[in-house]
Amino acid sequence: MHPNVTSKEKLLLAAKELAKTEGLSALQMRSLASAAGVAVGSVYNYFPNKNALLTAVVASIWFDMFHNDTTENTRNMGFCDAVSHLFAQIQKGIAAYPDFFAVHRVIFDEGEKENALKLRENTFSHIEKNLLNALETDPRIRPDAFDGSLTQKALVSFTFTHLLALWNSGAKDCDTLIAILSKILYSA
C-alpha cells in the first residue's frame, strides 16, 4: 500500500519531473502516483481529473520560467538587457521542458483549453508589464525615441511578438532584435 501524500507541492514537483523526462503529453494520474510513490487516490485528492493536474503543472512551469526569476532580475536592467534576459529564460525553459511550448496548447480537452489560454495570457501580460517597466525606467533611452506613431506600449508589444516568433522558429539568439531595438532607443 502506498502512503498518502501530504502536499500538493510535492505532487507538482513530481509531475514537473515527469514532464521534463517523459514530456508533458505523457503525464497521467497513474504515472504521477507511481513517480511520487503514492496511491492514485492521493493524486485525485489534490487533482480531481487529468485536466486539473495539467492546468496546475502548466501554471507551475510558466511560473518557474518567468515569474520566479524575471521580475527581480529585470527590475534594474535596461530594456535591451531585459529582452536578452527574457530570451535566455525562454531558452532555459525549452531546455528543461523540451515539448512544453509545442504540446501545452494541444493536450487539454476542449473544455479546458480556455483555462489554459487564460494561464498563458496572464503569464504573457506579466512579462509585457515587466518589459514595459524596464523600458520606462531605462535611463539610456533617447528623449526623442517615442512619438505619436511609436509608443512605449507598442514597442513592448512588437518586441514580445518577435521574441515569441524567435522562440517558435528555434532561433538560438535574439541578437538581431537587440540590434534593431538599440538603434531605435539609444543614442549612437
**How far apart are the two ends of the chain, measured CA to CA in Å?**
69
Where does 1-48 sit in CATH, by number?
Answer: 1.10.10.60
Helix axes 29-36, 8-22, angle to 10 degrees: 110
Domain parsing of the chain, residue ranges: 1-48, 55-185
The residue-averaged pLDDT of 109-136 equals 82
The residue-averaged pLDDT of 94-121 equals 73
Of 21-30, 55-64, 121-130, 176-185, the one with minimum mean pLDDT is: 55-64
Model confidence band, residue 1 (pLDDT cutoffs 50, 70, 90):
very low
**How crowded is residue 13: how many other Cβ atoms within 10 Å of its Cβ?**
14
Q: What is the secondary structure of 17-73 as a DSSP string?
A: HHHHHH-GGG--HHHHHHHHTS-HHHHHHH-SSHHHHHHHHHHHHHIIIIIHHHHHH
Using one digit for the tens of pLDDT, what is the confidence trace for 47-86? 998 888 888 888 888 888 876 554 455 567 899 999 999 9
Rounded Cα distance between 37 and 32, Å, is 8
